[in-house]
C-alpha cells in the first residue's frame, strides 16, 4: 500500500503482488485478459514509470470502473493527487523513485528501459524471471542481444516508429531471446522515455509472455483440422443447424445416407428430411433442447431420403452456443440404423408367425436341456396331455415316461454327445424320428411320434434338444387292433395297394409303378406302351375316351368307376381310376396320369368285415366293462351282456330304459351339458376323432348306485356324418370310495397343519418346495402359493442356504452305504428368510428326511417357528453392550481431553500471542522472522489437534447456525482440490432442493477435510473422490438394521472413493481415537474420530461401507431443521483493529496475563492487570469509573469469572465483560458463561481475534 507520511515522504507500508486474473489462468490454461484490460495494465505501468521519474501530473481515466483494475487505477490517482498537493522534499525523490520501481516489480509483465544507444538501464523483477539473467548481467546489456535475426526488422521498425512519431506502439508480437538462447513469444508495447526536462532519454516498454497462448492457438488449429478430417471420414453423420432449422454444416455421411448432394442440402430446411406427421414432434423436441439447454437422444428417428424411402437414425442433438454463451443453433451426431430396424421388423414378423404356429398347431413343439428338462413347451401340450406348459416345465421327464423309456433316451443322448466330443458330429440337418409312449396328466398313455434334433450355436456346437411330438395314439391303437387280426386281413391289405400310371395324349402308357403290374398281371415290358382302351369292351373303350377327352378339354379331374378290363391272365377285373391332365413346365398338356385301384375283391372284403364285426361283438360280450351304442336321442341301441353283472339289468331291460332312468340327476345334468358342448364343437368343425371322458353315477337294479368311468366317441357314416355314440363304461365305485376316504383323511391332516402357528413344509432333495402350510404367510408375509413358485435361494439369505445344504449333505452322508442312521432323528437349523416388509425373519427349523419303502431318502419334512424376537433381543443386548463400552471409552478420552485442554490452550495462547507481537515488531526482512513463522505453524497445528481431541469427545465449543449444506460443500471445494492433489479427480453431485441443517459451518469443513484426506491416502496412485448431498427420510425399518440411527428427516452427505478399501476388521475400529493404519509419524488417528465426534455432537449418525480393492463410502446423516437459513454476516477485515479505552484484565496464569496485556497495549488500549479475582475487586473499586471493559478468565481457583462479575456489578452496575477460557464446553457451561448475549473468547486466541472481540464487547454487539 502506498502512503505519504507526515513528513510528506512516499512510503510503502505493505506491498502485495497483484494477480488480476487468477481464475482464467489457473482453471483454463488460457490468457483470459481482454484487449482492453491489457491496454489498461500498460497504462498503469506507464503512469507508475513517469511517477518514478518525478512526473506527478499524469492521471488514469478509468479509475471509476467497478473492477479490480479500476480499483488499482483509483489508488494510483489518489496517491498522485496527494503527492501533487503536498509535494516531496528533494532529498527523498530518489527514495520515492525506488519505491515506484518496487511497484513495477509487482506487475505480471516484464518492464524495461533503455537509453538511446539501446543499452538496458532499468528493468523489473519479472524481466529477470522471464529472461533468466541476473540483475548484474542484464544491467547495461544491449537490447540487440535479446533479438534474433528473424525478428530484427520487426523490433527495429517498432522502436524507430516510436522515436520518429513520439507515439507509443501499443502492441506487437515477436520472439525474445533468453540467456540460454531459448525463444519466448511475447507481446510488447514501447514508448519514449523522457528526463525531468521532457527530453527524449531512451525507450521504455512492457512485455507479456504469450508463449502459452500461442502454443494453445497452434494446438487448437491442429485439433480443429483433426476434427474436420474426422468428420469427413467417419461413418456416422454430423449435422449443424441454425435456430430456424436450416442446415449450416454436415459431413459426407449425412449426404450419402439420405441420398442428397451437398448443394441440395446446404441451406435447406429440416422439413426436407422430416416426415410430415413428425414435423410437430420435431419442433417440440428442438424447443425442449433450446429451453432446457440439455442434449437429447433420439432412437430410430424416421427420416425421408431423396428417393422417398424411409431412413432410420439414432442420433443425439445439443444446443450450439456462441463464445459469449448465446444459443446459435443445434448440432449432433447420428448413426444409420435402417438395416437394424428393418431386420427387427422382419424378425418381429417371423416371431409373430412362429407364435401363431406354435399356439395353433396340434403337434407339441418343445426344447430341453441335456439333463432332459424341458426349457420350452408349446400351448398344444395341454390339449394332448392335460398338462399346462408351466406344469410340464416343472415336471422332470422321467415322471412322464416309463423308466425303461427314460433310460433309453438318456443312453441315446449320451451316445450322441459322446460322438460330438470325439469330433464325429451328426448331420446338422438330419432329424431323428422315433415313437414313444408318454403319461398324460390322468396317467393315461399318449403315443407320440417324436422328431428331434440338436440345436446348435454359431460354431456348430450343440447346446439343447429341439423337437416336435405328434399324437399318434389313435394310429397306435388302430395298429394294435390290426395286429390282433393281422393274419385274417393280410391278403385284403396287400390287394388294396394302388397303382400309379402316366400316358401320353393318345392314351399310351409311358410310366407306371410295380403295383400296377401286380394289379394288371402284365409284365412291365408288355405293359409299357399299352393303350388305355386295350383289352376292354367297346362300351368301356368309348366311355374311357369320352372321359379322357373331357379331362383334356376342361382340365378338371375325373373319376371312373368299375373300369373293367382283361388282365394278363385273361381274367376280368374291375379298377377304380382317377384321371388328371399332365402339363409341362409351360403349362401345356402333355398327357394324363392317375391312380388305379383294384376293387374286384370289395365283396369279399365286406364279407370279411362282417366276420370281423362278429368277432368284435364276441369280445365285447366277454368284457367286464360295459360296451354300449346310443343314437343321437340317447336311446341305447346296443349294450354288452356285462351290464347285468355290473348293474343288474339285462341288455333288453337297459335298452328299454330312458336316460333319466339310468343316471342320477346330477350325473344326468352333467352328461347332457357335455353332450351339448360336443354338439356345438361338432357344428364348429372340431376334430371328428375326439372323445370325451366322464365320471357318472348310474342306478343299480337293487336301488343302489355305482360310479362308472365312461369314455364316449362318435359313430359316423361313410361321409363322416355323426350318427350315434359309442361308449365304454367301467365300474370305479370301489376306487371312488377309497379316493373319498383318502380325501377325508387329507382334509383332517390339512386342518391340523393349516391351523398350527408353526410352519410345516416339505421339499424334494433338490430343495424345491412341494408343500407349505398357510401359517408361513403369518411368519414372513408371503403366501404358500407364491413361495412354492420360487427357489429356496430366493427366499433365504446366502449364509442360511449354505447351512441348509450342509445339513442335507451331512444327513445324506450318514445314510450312505445302504445303512440308515437314526432315520427319525430331526436336525435343527436356524435360517434367515426374506420377509414381505423388506427385512428378514429368523426361523428355527426342525428337519427330518422322508424315505420310501426301501428306506431311501425322497425328501425333507420340517417344521419352523419364528424366533426373530429372540434374535433381536440377543442383537439388542450385544448392541447395548457395544455402545456402553464405546461410551465409556469416549468418556475416558473426553475427560482426558478436557483436562489437558485448559493448560494446553493457555500455553498455546502464550506462544501464539508472542508470535503475533514478534511479527508486529519485526520488519519483513528480519532473519528471525522465518523462525517465528515456523513456531506459529507448530502452535497452530497443536491448536488444531486440541480442537480435534475436543471434537471427537464432543466437548468442542460450537456456534450452530441454520445453513445450506450445498453452499458449504461448494465453498470447501477449492480447498479440497488443493488438498487431494492433481491425480485425484473430484466430482460433486448436489441435491437440487436441499433441506436446511443447524450446524457450525466450521465443523462441516472439518468433516469434509478429514474424510477427503482419508480418501486421498487410500488412493496413492490417484483415483476419483465423489461428494454427494441428498434429502432422505430414515424410517423405523432402516433403524432396526443400522445401529446408532434414529428415524426422521436428514441431509445425507456421502463421500466415496475408489481406493484400496478396508476389510471388516479395520472398519470395526476406524472411529476409535488414535487408531490408524498408517506408518508411525504419518497420522494421528484423530481424523475419523473427530468426524464421528462432530456428527454425534450434532445428533446425527455416520455409516461406512467398504470392500478391499473397491473403495470406501462414508455416509453422514445430518438432522434437518425447518428454521430459515441464517443470513451470513459480512466478512470482517482480517487486519487487527486498533482501539482505545481502559481494560481490567483478570487472569490467574502469569504467562497468559503478560502476553494478553502486551497484545492489548499494542493495539492501543490501557490495561490494568489483576492476578486473581480477589486482587481485582479493590482495584475495580478505585478505578471503576474509568474501566471500559473487564476481560476475565472463567475458571480460577478462588472465585469463578462469573462470580467476579456479579461482585463487580454490586460495586458499579452495568459493567461490560468479555470472558475467556481454555476449558471445554461443559466446564464453561457449568459456570453460566455460554448463555445467549454473553461475550466469550476461546483460548488460544490470536491478536486479531482478541482485538475484534474486545471491540464487539465494548460496543455491546
Band the pLDDT of 307: cuts 50, 70, 90.
very high
pLDDT for residue 895: 63
Band the pLDDT of 683: cuts 50, 70, 90.
confident
Statement to judge: residues 632 and 547 lie in one domain: no
Q: Which pTM was predicted?
A: 0.31
pLDDT per position as a tens digit, 917-972: 888 778 778 888 887 888 877 777 677 666 656 655 545 556 678 899 999 899 88
Statement to judge: residues 1097 and 1148 lie in one domain: no
Mention every residue, 6+ apart, whose C-beta is less than 8 A from residue 214. 185
H/E run at residue 1119: strand 1111-1121
Domain assignment of residue 777, yes or no: yes
Domain assignment of residue 1207, yes or no: yes
Question: Given a cut of 50, is residue 21 above it in pLDDT?
Answer: no
Statement to judge: residues 319 and 428 lie in one domain: no
Instruction: Quote the number of domains for the chain.
Output: 8
Statement to judge: residues 1178 and 1246 lie in one domain: yes
pLDDT for residue 1057: 93
What is the pLDDT averaged over residues 1214-1221? Answer: 87
pLDDT per position as a tens digit, 237-292: 889 999 999 999 888 889 999 999 989 999 899 899 999 999 999 999 999 999 99
Cell 504469450 maps to which residue?
Answer: 210
pLDDT for residue 897: 61
Statement to judge: residues 308 and 366 lie in one domain: no
What is the pLDDT averaged over residues 208-223? Answer: 81
pLDDT for residue 492: 37
Question: Given a cut of 90, is residue 836 above it in pLDDT?
Answer: no
pLDDT for residue 1222: 72
| Strands (E) located in 440-586 | 445-456, 462-471, 499-503, 509-512, 558-566, 572-583
Statement to judge: residues 74 and 174 lie in one domain: yes
CA distance 1159 to 914: 8
Q: How far is CA 738 from the centre of its chain?
A: 58
Question: Given a cut of 70, is residue 19 above it in pLDDT?
Answer: no
Statement to judge: residues 1108 and 995 lie in one domain: yes
CA distance 1128 to 961: 9
Domain assignment of residue 167, yes or no: yes
pLDDT for residue 499: 83
Question: Given a cut of 50, is residue 1169 above it in pLDDT?
Answer: yes
Task: Label residue 854 exposed, middle or buried (CB < 10 Å: 0-12, 13-18, 19+).
Answer: exposed
DSSP state of 116: T
Domain assignment of residue 618, yes or no: no
CA distance 514 to 1063: 87
CA nearest to 1051, candidates 965, 947, 927 = 965
Statement to judge: residues 1080 and 1210 lie in one domain: no
Domain assignment of residue 161, yes or no: yes
Statement to judge: residues 470 and 511 lie in one domain: no
CA distance 1087 to 1076: 9
**Residue 834: beta bridge partners?**
840
pLDDT for residue 665: 92
Full residue range of the structural domain in which residue 1150 is found: 1142-1259
Picking from 600, 631, 649, the residue at the C-terminal end of a domain is 600
Question: Given a cut of 70, is residue 888 above it in pLDDT?
Answer: no
Band the pLDDT of 1132: cuts 50, 70, 90.
very low
Domain assignment of residue 521, yes or no: yes
CA distance 79 to 72: 11
Domain assignment of residue 223, yes or no: no
Mention every residue, 6+ apart, whose C-beta is less than 8 A from residue 66. none
Picking from 279, 308, 343, the residue at the C-terminal end of a domain is 343
Picking from 311, 343, 375, the residue at the C-terminal end of a domain is 343
pLDDT per position as a tens digit, 33-87: 455 666 777 777 677 666 655 566 777 877 666 676 777 777 777 777 766 665 5
pLDDT per position as a tens digit, 382-401: 888 888 888 888 888 888 88
Statement to judge: residues 582 and 632 lie in one domain: no
Minimum mean pLDDT range among 54-58, 825-829, 1184-1188: 54-58
Say if residues 365 and 462 touch (Cβ distance below 8 Å).
Answer: no
User: What CATH number does residue 368 fall under?
Assistant: 3.30.450.20
Q: Round the average pLDDT of the chain to a whole number and report it.
A: 80
More confident of the two residues 864 and 73 = 864
Domain assignment of residue 917, yes or no: no
**Residue 318: beta bridge partners?**
331
Statement to judge: residues 1007 and 1075 lie in one domain: yes
H/E run at residue 73: helix 68-86
DSSP state of 142: B
Band the pLDDT of 870: cuts 50, 70, 90.
confident
pLDDT for residue 7: 40
Statement to judge: residues 649 and 555 lie in one domain: no
pLDDT for residue 54: 59
Question: Given a cut of 90, is residue 456 above it in pLDDT?
Answer: no
Amino acid at each position: 500500500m502506498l502512503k505519504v507520511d507526515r513528513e510528506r515522504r512516499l512510503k510503502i507500508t505493505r506491498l502485495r503482488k497483484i494477480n488480476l486474473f487468477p481464475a482464467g489462468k489457473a482453471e483454463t490454461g488460457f490468457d483470459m485478459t481482454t484487449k482492453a484490460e491489457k491496454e489498461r495494465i500498460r497504462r498503469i505501468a506507464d503512469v507508475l514509470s513517469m511517477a518514478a521519474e518525478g512526473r506527478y501530473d499524469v492521471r488514469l481515466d478509468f479509475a471509476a470502473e467497478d473492477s479490480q483494475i479500476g480499483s488499482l487505477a483509483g489508488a494510483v490517482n489518489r496517491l498522485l493527487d496527494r503527492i501533487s498537493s503536498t509535494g516531496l522534499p528533494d532529498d527523498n525523490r530518489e527514495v520515492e523513485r525506488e519505491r515506484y520501481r518496487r511497484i513495477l516489480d509487482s506487475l505480471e509483465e516484464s518492464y524495461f528501459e533503455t537509453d538511446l544507444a539501446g543499452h538496458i538501464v532499468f528493468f523489473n523483477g519479472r524481466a529477470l524471471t522471464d529472461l533468466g539473467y541476473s540483475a548484474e548481467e542484464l544491467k547495461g546489456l544491449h537490447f540487440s542481444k535479446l533479438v534474433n535475426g528473424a525478428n530484427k526488422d520487426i523490433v527495429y521498425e517498432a522502436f524507430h516508429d516510436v522515436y520518429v512519431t513520439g507515439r507509443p506502439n501499443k502492441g506487437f508480437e515477436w520472439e525474445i531471446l533468453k540467456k540460454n538462447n531459448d525463444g519466448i513469444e511475447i507481446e510488447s508495447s514501447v514508448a519514449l522515455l523522457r528526463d525531468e526536462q521532457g527530453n527524449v532519454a531512451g525507450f521504455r516498454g512492457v512485455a507479456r509472455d504469450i508463449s502459452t497462448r500461442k502454443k494453445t492457438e497452434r494446438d487448437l488449429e491442429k485439433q480443429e483440422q483433426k476434427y474436420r478430417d474426422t468428420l469427413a471420414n467417419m461413418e456416422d453423420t454430423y449435422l449443424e443447424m441454425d435456430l430456424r432449422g436450416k442446415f449450416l454444416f454436415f459431413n459426407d455421411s449425412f449426404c450419402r445416407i439420405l441420398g442428397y448432394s451437398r448443394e441440395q442440402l446446404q441451406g435447406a430446411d429440416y422439413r426436407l428430411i422430416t416426415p410430415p406427421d413428425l414435423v410437430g414432434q420435431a419442433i417440440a423436441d428442438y424447443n425442449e433442447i433450446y429451453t432446457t439447454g440439455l442434449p437429447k437422444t433420439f432412437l430410430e428417428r424416421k427420416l425421408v431420403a431423396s428417393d422417398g424411402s424411409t431412413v432410420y437414425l439414432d442420433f443425439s442433438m445439443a444446443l450450439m452456443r456462441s463464445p459469449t454463451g448465446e444459443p446459435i443453433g443445434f448440432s449432433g451426431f447420428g448413426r444409420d440404423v435402417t438395416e437394424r430396424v428393418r431386420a427387427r421388423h422382419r424378425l418381429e414378423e417371423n416371431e409373430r408367425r412362429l407364435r401363431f404356429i406354435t399356439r395353433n398347431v396340434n403337434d407339441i413343439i418343445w426344447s430341453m436341456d441335456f439333463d432332459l428338462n424341458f426349457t420350452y413347451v408349446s400351448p398344444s401340450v395341454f390339449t394332448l396331455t392335460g398338462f399346462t406348459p408351466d406344469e410340464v416345465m416343472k415336471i422332470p421327464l422321467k415322471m412322464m415316461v416309463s423308466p425303461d423309456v427314460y433310460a433309453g433316451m438318456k443312453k441315446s443322448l449320451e451316445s450322441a454327445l459322446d460322438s460330438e466330443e470325439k469330433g464325429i458330429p451328426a448331420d446338422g440337418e438330419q432329424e431323428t424320428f422315433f415313437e414313444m409312449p408318454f403319461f398324460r396328466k390322468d396317467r393315461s398313455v399318449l403315443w407320440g411320434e417324436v422328431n428331434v434334433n440338436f440345436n446348435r450355436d454359431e460354431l456348430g456346437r450343440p447346446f439343447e434338444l429341439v423337437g416336435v411330438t405328434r399324437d399318434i395314439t389313435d394310429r397306435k391303437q388302430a395298429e394294435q387292433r390290426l395286429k390282433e387280426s393281422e393274419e385274417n386281413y393280410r391278403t385284403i391289405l396287400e390287394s388294396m395297394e394302388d397303382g400309379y400310371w402316366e400316358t401320353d395324349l393318345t392314351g399310351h402308357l409311358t410310366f407306371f409303378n410295380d403295383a400296377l403290374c401286380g394289379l394288371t398281371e402284365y409284365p412291365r415290358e408288355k405293359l409299357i406302351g399299352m393303350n388305355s382302351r386295350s383289352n376292354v369292351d367297346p362300351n368301356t373303350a368309348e366311355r374311357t375316351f369320352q372321359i379322357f377327352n373331357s379331362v383334356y378339354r376342361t382340365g378338371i379331374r375325373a373319376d371312373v368307376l368299375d373300369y373293367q378290363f382283361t388282365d394278363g391272365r385273361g381274367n376280368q377285373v374291375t379298377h377304380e381310376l382317377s384321371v388328371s391332365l399332365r402339363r409341362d413346365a409351360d403349362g401345356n398338356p402333355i398327357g394324363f396320369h392317375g391312380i388305379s385301384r383294384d376293387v374286384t375283391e370289395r365283396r369279399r372284403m365286406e364279407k370279411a368285415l362282417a366276420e370281423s364285426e362278429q368277432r368284435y361283438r364276441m369280445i365285447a360280450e366277454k368284457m367286464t366293462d360295459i360296451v354300449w351304442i346310443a343314437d343321437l336321442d340317447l336311446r341305447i341301441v346296443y349294450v354288452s351282456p356285462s351290464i347285468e353283472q355290473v348293474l343288474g339289468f339285462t341288455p333288453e331291460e337297459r335298452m328299454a330304459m330312458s336316460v333319466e332312468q339310468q343316471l342320477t340327476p346330477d350325473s344326468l345334468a352333467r352328461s347332457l351339458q357335455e353332450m351339448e358342448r360336443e354338439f356345438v364343437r361338432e357344428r364348429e368343425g372340431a376334430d371328428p376323432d375326439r372323445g370325451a371322458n366322464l365320471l357318472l353315477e348310474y342306478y343299480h337294479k337293487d336301488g343302489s348306485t355305482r360310479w362308472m368311468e365312461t369314455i364316449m366317441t362318435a359313430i359316423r357314416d361313410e361321409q363322416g356324418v355323426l350318427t350315434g355314440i359309442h361308449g365304454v363304461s367301467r365300474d370305479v365305485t370301489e376306487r371312488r370310495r377309497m379316493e373319498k376316504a383318502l380325501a377325508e383323511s387329507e382334509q383332517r391332516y390339512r386342518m391340523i397343519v393349516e391351523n398350527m402357528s408353526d410352519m410345516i413344509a416339505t421339499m424334494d432333495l433338490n430343495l424345491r418346495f412341494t408343500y407349505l402350510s398357510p401359517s408361513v404367510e403369518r411368519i414372513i408375509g408371503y403366501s404358500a402359493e407364491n413361495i412354492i413358485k420360487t427357489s429356496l435361494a430366493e427366499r433365504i439369505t446366502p449364509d442360511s442356504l449354505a447351512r441348509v445344504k450342509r445339513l442335507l449333505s451331512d444327513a445324506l452322508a450318514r445314510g450312505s452305504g445302504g445303512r440308515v442312521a437314526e432315520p427319525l432323528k430331526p436336525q435343527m437349523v436356524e435360517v434367515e428368510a426374506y420377509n414381505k416388509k423388506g427385512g428378514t425373519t429368523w426361523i428355527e427349523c426342525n428337519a427330518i428326511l422322508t424315505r420310501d419303502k426301501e428306506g431311501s431318502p425322497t425328501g425333507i419334512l420340517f417344521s419352523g417357528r419364528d424366533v426373530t424376537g429372540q434374535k433381536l433381543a440377543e442383537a439388542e443386548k450385544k448392541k447395548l453392550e457395544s455402545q456402553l463400552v464405546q461410551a465409556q471409552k469416549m468418556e475416558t478420552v473426553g475427560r482426558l481431553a478436557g483436562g489437558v485442554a485448559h493448560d494446553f490452550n493457555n500455553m498455546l495462547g502464550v506462544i501464539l500471542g508472542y508470535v503475533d507481537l514478534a511479527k508486529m515488531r519485526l520488519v519483513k526482512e528480519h532473519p528471525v522472522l522465518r523462525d517465528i513463522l515456523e513456531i506459529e505453524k507448530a502452535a497452530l497445528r497443536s491448536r488444531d489437534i486440541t480442537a480435534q481431541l475436543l471434537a471427537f469427545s464432543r466437548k468442542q465449543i460450537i456456534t450452530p447456525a441454520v445453513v445450506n449444506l450445498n453452499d458449504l460443500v461448494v465453498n470447501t471445494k477449492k480447498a479440497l482440490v488443493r488438498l487431494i492433489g492433481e491425480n485425484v479427480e473430484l466430482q460433486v453431485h448436489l441435491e437440487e432442493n436441499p433441506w436446511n441443517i443447524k450446524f457450525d459451518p466450521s465443523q462441516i469443513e472439518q468433516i469434509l477435510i478429514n474424510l477427503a484426506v482419508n480418501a486421498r491416502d487410500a488412493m496413492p496412485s490417484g483415483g476419483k473422490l465423489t461428494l454427494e448431498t441428498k434429502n432422505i427420510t430414515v424410517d423405523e425399518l432402516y433403524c432396526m438394521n443400522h445401529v446408532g440411527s434414529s428415524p426422521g428427516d436428514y441431509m445425507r452427505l456421502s463421500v466415496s472413493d475408489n481406493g484400496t478399501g478396508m476389510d471388516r476388521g479395520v472398519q470395526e475400529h476406524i472411529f476409535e481415537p488414535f487408531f490408524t493404519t498408517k506408518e508411525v509419524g504419518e497420522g494421528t488417528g484423530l481424523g475419523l474420530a473427530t468426524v464421528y465426534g462432530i456428527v454425534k455432537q450434532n445428533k446425527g449418525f455416520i455409516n461406512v461401507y467398504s470392500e478391499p480393492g473397491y473403495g470406501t463410502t462414508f455416509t453422514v446423516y445430518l438432522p434437518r431443521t425447518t428454521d430459515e437459513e441464517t443470513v451470513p454476516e459480512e466478512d470482517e477485515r482480517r487486519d487487527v483493529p486498533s482501539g482505545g479505552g481502559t481494560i481490567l484484565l483478570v487472569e490467574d496464569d502469569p504467562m497468559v496475563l503478560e502476553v494478553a496485556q502486551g497484545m492489548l497495549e499494542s493495539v492501543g488500549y490501557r490495561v490494568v492487570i489483576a492476578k486473581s479475582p480477589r486482587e481485582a475487586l479493590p482495584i475495580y473499586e478505585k478505578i471503576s469509573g474509568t474501566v471500559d471493559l473487564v476481560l476475565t478468565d472463567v475458571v480460577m481457583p478462588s472465585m469463578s469469572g462469573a462470580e467476579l462479575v456479579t461482585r463487580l456489578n454490586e460495586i458499579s452496575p452495568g459493567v461490560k465483560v468479555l470472558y475467556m477460557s481454555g476449558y471445554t464446553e461443559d466446564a464453561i457451561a457449568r459456570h453460566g458463561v455460554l448463555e445467549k448475549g454473553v461475550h466469550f473468547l476461546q483460548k488460544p486466541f490470536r491478536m486479531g481475534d482478541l482485538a475484534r472481540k474486545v471491540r464487539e464487547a465494548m460496543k455491546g454487539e
